[in-house]
Structure 1
Amino acid sequence: MTQTQERIDRDAAEMASSRASTTRDGFGVLLVAIKREPWIFTLSTLGSVLFGALTVADAWVLGWSTDHVVLPAFRDGEIDGGLLWAILGLYVAVAILRAVGIVARRLGAGIMQYRMQAHTRRAVTRQYLQLPMEWHQRHPTGQLLSNANSDVEAAWGPIAPLPMAVGTVAMMVIAVAQMLVADLVLALVGLLVFPAVIAANLAYQRLASPLMTRAQQLRAEVSEIAHESFDGAMVVKTLGREPQETERFAAKALELRDVNIRAGRIRAAFDPTLAALPNLGVLVVLAVGVQRVLTGATDAGDVVTVAYLLTIVSFPIRSIGWLLGEFPRSVVGFRRVSSVLDATGEMVYGEHAVTPASGAGGGARLEVDALAYAYDPAQPLLQDVSFTVEPGRTVALVGATASGKSTLTSLVTRLVDPDAGRVLLDGTDVRDLAAGELSRAVAVVPQTAFLFDDTVRGNVALGDELDDETVWEALRAAQADGFVAALPHGLDTRLGERGTSLSGGQRQRLSLARALVRRPRLMVLDDATSAVDPEVEARILAALRDGSGGASLLVVAYRKATIGLADEVVHLEGGRIVDRGTHRALLARSASYARLVNAYETEDHAPSARTDQPTDQPTDQPTDATTGGTL
């Protein structure tokens, strides 16, 4: 609580020093919405003005009926039937028109708010898809979810009270003018309540604004922690970290609770105060009004009119207070959303198409030319990397951990752009290709296979219109047809979130099938068969080029059996290519290469590795490619 209080006090100090800026920025956010939805804003504002005018008209009808019906009835002992029906008609007309104003105001404000939320969410999501992977790696997923959800809602929160605030300003002007016309003295007495109401609003904003701002920030932090805990459920459970994760989440959740409770307490004190001030003003007006009626300085109807108008003029001030009270959250949310929309690093595409070289067959020619990349400028990861994958051939990337293999696959598939050098596909720099061209020619299969909460067919096709035979053909090439056929509903079996109903090897094979079904001309496999048995892996790699029309293969490999299937091996060390050639040639001439691949081989066959590492032998034993039976 001490840290929370310090944070809130600091936010309060910052808010006090920049109150004018927050108010200005809040109106700026609303101006963005008004410019985008001018007609809906106009409709809702007209509805609010109509509601305000008819609310004031109620006071006029009340005063008129007091002077012309109520008082004559007491004086004469009878009521004029025509006047009674006239009053009834006036009240009904005012009520109907006011109802129309309420509907127009609320409907317009709701449509405007939800349209702006939908538009902003689409813009944020579109920006997420355009930004490169390196940007996503710097931003937690929970924060991105908060940007697209709670921050968007907070940014456009003031739209709901906006039409009412604009309309009630007109109501306040009309009401004050009518008060002044009815009785100048009583009007001036009644208007003394305005400074008190304004002071209460300012006090509320000063106390509540930093709390609301802090609460908005805490919502994002709670979302980040929750997403990390859910996404890392396996780590949390296998390492027995449930109590620590629960405590970490509870700490932020309790802090958010405490901040919201403090804001609620302030609101609970503010609302009754704001409601009581006009009532006190009415009592003063009635006390002064009685004396003026007794002296003949005014009519009873004017006293009633001023007293009633005084009860309604506080509402416009309250509605404006609600609007201003939403500004801190709105400005914070809008800034957080804008930080995404204004983010740099979008992928810039050219206009070229992939043009296969003559005689290249089904495979693509990949040329990596003097490539360099660094996450930290002080520590280059890749330097002057150059090699070529000829059409239809297989090249294996081999290197120790942190030698840059996975980063190189990200550069080849243009998940990120290099700091220097080029990646050419069939002679064209991938940065000059039109959007979508690279993904149609190249497929990447990462080590960690991601499956959607969908059917087998949906995970392989990913929305493309593919017949079942095409899907089964890809599954056969990926050695996945056997276990898929054994699933309860075959291709229509739902796999659960992230495919948790399958083993690691099964998920990898479905990921391979997803790539194969698109018949890419270049396949990039980042240790994509690490969770399957070596014999199954050999059959998968042998079938890949046949199943994908003779595609070229770039494979990040660790196992000696996998490396041995490659036509050429590129040995990476410290971000540079230290040697290249066939597997046999490198074994013969490079001691460091031999130590590396033999170390992998020893580790793969070490008894401790078999006992300490979880396996999925029940589902990943070598299977027959045609029958799916266990060999």
Structure 2
Amino acid sequence: MVDERGTLRSSTTREGFAVLGVAIRREPVIFVLSTLGSVLFAVLTVADAWVLGWATENVVIPAFDDGEIAAGLLWAVLGLFLGVAVLRAVGIVARRLGAGLMQYRMQSHTRRAVTRQYLALPMEWHQRHPTGQLLSNAYSDVEAAWGPIAPLPMALGTVVMMVIAVVQMLVADVVLAAVGLLVFPAVVVANLAYQRLSSPLMTRAQGLRAEVSEIAHESFDGAMVVKTLGREPEETARFSVKAHELRDVTIRAGRIRAVFDPTLASLPNLGVLVVLAVGVARVTSGAASAGDVVTVAYLLTIVSFPIRAIGWLLGEFPRSVVGFRRVQSVLRATGAVAYGEASLPPSTVGARLELESVGYSYDPATPLLREVSFAVDPGQTIALVGATASGKSTLTSLMTRLVDPDHGRILLDGVDLRDLRRGGGSRAVALVPQTAFLFDDTVRGNVTLGAQIDDEQVWAALRTAQADGFVAALPQGLDTQLGERGTSLSGGQRQRLSLARALARRPRLLILDDATSAVDPEVEARILSSLREGSGDTTLVVVAYRKATISLADEVVYLADGKVADRGSHAELLARRPAYARLVNAYEQAAHEESEAGPAQVLGQTAGERA
């Protein structure tokens, strides 16, 4: 676990091996094949030492004594070295290919799992987690979690190499082997010191990567606000603070690694020097042969490679453990939307919508909606009217089941939305939100979103949304590429395309959350008139502010203090509800002042302020 200061309380090494265990259980075949390749490489590397020792005793020393080398022995040595080299190359290919395949498959599997979890979790969970953090979880944290897979097969193979080498060293000369193996305690101490120093830094670095991503994503999303208000220096400074902190933490971790790696590499070399010094004395005294000294010294250099390989593996553990924990925090998140098995009755007419004592709160201490109840008959148009923060947009989220009510029920054709099977509600209900979002795709792609909708149906939806005129005037019509977020279009054009996207699916319940706020009143009136005439019996719920929009509704539901304060026709509410009259007249007056003042004075006003 991680404490409040970001330091690790449990064993990083133990957790690191547990993470690798997850990968091994997921990809056992690839792991076995890559490990076998690594073991082959390890055995043949040790075989080099045996060939070298045999060549020293049977070819090199006799050559110095006799002044000549037998041709057969020379060819035998060359054949042995060549055979060992070829088989070792086969082991290297199998090891590296298997390790890479296993690592990338685990990354792919985990990213898909994280994405599925993002889709399953409700909107309220997403609202509590910044987009930059979610991007970091799906990318850098996944990459960090499975980083140790790359050196894993090599490390396991080199363990075999080390065992064989140590046994061979003991067989060659017990004293020299004991001297050489003194490096192992030193290596263990170095690894423990490295993990103790680097783990807190790795934890902090992973957290800072997410924070940097969050700031960058927020700045890009708010580019218009930043530029129009001249906040570029402040945003740059805000980004620089976290970027510099990440740089400093990473450099500190790099400095520790820069000390650790040379230390790990030098310890076996120091052991070789000590073995050679002791070996010379033993050869002089006749206690050991020159071949034994060469064999032990060479084997110790071989042992140094497994030590470094294990060090590379252990060196990846701090970052891997942190990344895995951050990914698991997403995968273990609760609150996924549960679905039932019910289906809506087959029908081609509008759906009946009923809200029964619906309550919802973002903060339990301050409920937003309380005992909200009303019904909308099939084909009826109803307007939701209320002051800012009265819960209108939240109601649209509840009616489309982006979130579930804390209590009460929302019924569609008599079926509780929570009882519908997955996709049952989205096929019958369409929401056009306040802020229109367009993808970097063609007009056709933005309207259909990959659904099997023919061009005739697309044009029909565009006509109803009063978007056919400007789309026909685009250079390639439906095939015109709109650019990221549809920046080549005006706000009103984006809203009309967003509305056409919903209409193309022919929903039985259409919900408009201030979806025409960026269009002028005349165009809005034509859109609403087209909706009433062209949508057949579609049930329509409109979050409305303008009198012209409200007056087109069959009935108005007036929200105040989180409850339905009144309902009836627009004229009836004007007559009997002074608060309602003040509200809609205030909206009308504000809209008039905006049109008189011009765009320059209202540039900073957001859709949220209008809501």
TM-score by length of 2: 0.96
Q: Would you say the 8 A contact 1:8–1:210 is kept in 2?
A: no
Match of 1:529, SS state, is coil
Q: Give CA-to-partner distance per residue, 1:307-366, whole Å, 9 cap, x none.
A: 000111122122222222222211111111111111111111111111157xxx621111
Counterpart of 1:613 in structure 2 is 602
Tell me by how many angstroms 1:608 deviates: 5.1
Q: Which structure 2 segments of 5+ residues have no match? A: 605-611
Counterpart CA distance in 2 for 1:177 and 1:387 is 83
1:442 equivalenced with 2:432 (yes/no): no
Q: Which structure 1 segments of 5+ residues have no match? A: 1-6, 616-631
1:29 equivalenced with 2:16 (yes/no): no
Q: Give CA-to-partner distance per residue, 1:416-437, whole Å, 9 cap, x none.
A: 0001111111111111111111
Counterpart of 1:236 in structure 2 is 226
Counterpart CA distance in 2 for 1:511 and 1:206 is 54
Match of 1:395, SS state, is strand
The structure 2 residue matched to 1:580, chosen from 567, 574, 579, is 567
1:249 equivalenced with 2:236 (yes/no): no
The structure 2 residue matched to 1:364, chosen from 351, 371, 379, is 351
Tell me by how many angstroms 1:9 deviates: 12
Q: Would you say the 8 A contact 2:386–2:558 is kept in 1?
A: yes
Q: Give CA-to-partner distance per residue, 1:264-288, whole Å, 9 cap, x none.
A: 2222222222222222221221122
Q: Give CA-to-partner distance per residue, 1:24-74, whole Å, 9 cap, x none.
A: 221111111111111111111111111111111111100000000011111
Q: Would you say the 8 A contact 1:356–1:364 is kept in 2?
A: no
Match of 2:426, SS state, is helix
Q: Would you say the 8 A contact 1:603–1:609 is kept in 2?
A: no
Percent identity among equivalent residues? 78
Q: Would you say the 8 A contact 1:8–1:211 is kept in 2?
A: no
* Letter in structure 1 aligned against 2:164: I
Counterpart of 1:226 in structure 2 is 216
Match of 1:439, SS state, is coil
Q: Would you say the 8 A contact 1:369–1:385 is kept in 2?
A: yes
TM-score by length of 1: 0.93
The structure 2 residue matched to 1:117, chosen from 100, 107, 122, is 107
Q: Would you say the 8 A contact 1:398–1:556 is kept in 2?
A: yes
Match of 2:425, SS state, is helix
Match of 1:440, SS state, is coil
Match of 2:373, SS state, is strand
Counterpart CA distance in 2 for 1:281 and 1:381 is 72
- Which range is displaced more, 561-570 or 107-116? 107-116
Q: Would you say the 8 A contact 1:516–1:547 is kept in 2?
A: no
Q: Give CA-to-partner distance per residue, 1:205-236, whole Å, 9 cap, x none.
A: 22222222221121111111111111111111
Q: Give CA-to-partner distance per residue, 1:81-101, whole Å, 9 cap, x none.
A: 111111111111111111111
* Letter in structure 1 aligned against 2:602: Q
Q: Would you say the 8 A contact 2:195–2:318 is kept in 1?
A: no
Q: Would you say the 8 A contact 2:269–2:304 is kept in 1?
A: no
- Which range is displaced more, 265-274 or 567-576? 265-274
Counterpart of 1:325 in structure 2 is 315
Counterpart CA distance in 1 for 2:61 and 2:529 is 103
The structure 2 residue matched to 1:477, chosen from 464, 479, 486, is 464
The structure 2 residue matched to 1:602, chosen from 589, 592, 599, is 589
The structure 1 residue matched to 2:326, chosen from 333, 336, 345, is 336
Counterpart CA distance in 2 for 1:320 and 1:128 is 36
Q: Would you say the 8 A contact 2:264–2:307 is kept in 1?
A: no
Counterpart CA distance in 2 for 1:509 and 1:249 is 35
The structure 2 residue matched to 1:132, chosen from 108, 111, 122, is 122
Taking the TM superposition and a 5 Å limit, the aligned residue runs for 1:391-402 are: 391-402=378-389
Q: Would you say the 8 A contact 1:356–1:426 is kept in 2?
A: no
Tell me by how many angstroms 1:529 deviates: 0.5
Counterpart of 1:376 in structure 2 is 363
* Letter in structure 1 aligned against 2:370: Q
The structure 2 residue matched to 1:86, chosen from 73, 76, 98, is 76
Counterpart of 2:56 in structure 1 is 66
Counterpart of 1:619 in structure 2 is none
The structure 2 residue matched to 1:147, chosen from 137, 149, 152, is 137
Tell me by how many angstroms 1:19 deviates: 4.9
Q: Give CA-to-partner distance per residue, 1:151-210, whole Å, 9 cap, x none.
A: 111111111111111111111110000000001111111112222222222222222222
Counterpart of 2:496 in structure 1 is 509
Counterpart of 1:180 in structure 2 is 170
* Structure 1 residues 23 and 268, CA gap change in structure 2 (3 angstroms): closer
Q: Would you say the 8 A contact 2:142–2:323 is kept in 1?
A: yes
Counterpart of 2:405 in structure 1 is 418
Counterpart CA distance in 1 for 2:229 and 2:352 is 45
* Letter in structure 2 aligned against 1:217: G
Q: Give CA-to-partner distance per residue, 1:395-450, whole Å, 9 cap, x none.
A: 00000001110000100010000011111111111111111111110100001000
Match of 1:579, SS state, is strand
Counterpart of 2:31 in structure 1 is 41
1:101 equivalenced with 2:88 (yes/no): no
Counterpart CA distance in 2 for 1:9 and 1:275 is 35
Counterpart of 2:608 in structure 1 is none
- Size of the aligned set, in residue pairs, is 601
* Letter in structure 1 aligned against 2:75: W
The structure 2 residue matched to 1:304, chosen from 282, 285, 294, is 294
The structure 2 residue matched to 1:289, chosen from 276, 279, 284, is 279
Counterpart CA distance in 2 for 1:331 and 1:369 is 47
- Which range is displaced more, 209-218 or 60-69? 209-218
